[in-house]
Amino acid sequence: MSHTMPMRIDGDLVDAAKAVGAVSSRSATQQLSHWARIGRELEASPGTSQRDIQRVLAGEAAYDELGERAQAIVRAVWDEEMAKRLARLDLAAEFTAAGRSWTEADEQGNAVVRGDNTSV
């Protein structure tokens, strides 16, 4: 039977779990549990080299040279990084600050120019 226990977790990690979890429809708690299970599997897997995974993540080795399990871990890390970057991305604010306009689709799929002081 599973049970929960209160614990202290770094605020940055909780913020990242909220952002990444939202992409996968998970709460921050569910995301943290997911990451913990991945870490547990990594440490328990004799065929997975944490060093090899770190080398791939650092761009020092090829992804294709990893085994299937290690590739899954690398993809999970990449997914996490992409979700964090997407959560921080605010192109509308960047374009507005730069005085640039941009085009996006509205709810009906129509192109709408933003940032040109003529759109609503």
Give me the mean pLDDT over the 11-17 stretch: 89
Burial 35-52 (b: 16+ CB within 10 A, else e): beeeeeebeeeeebeeeb
Residue pLDDT, tens place only, 44-84:
777 778 888 889 989 999 999 998 888 888 888 888 888 88
Name the residue ranges covered by the structural domains of the chain.
1-89, 90-120
Whole-structure pTM over 0.85, yes or no?
no
3-state secondary structure of 51: helix
pLDDT confidence bin for 120, thresholds 50/70/90: very low
The label of the residue with tokens 């899954």 reads 72
Query: Is 90 exceeded by the pLDDT of residue 101?
Result: yes
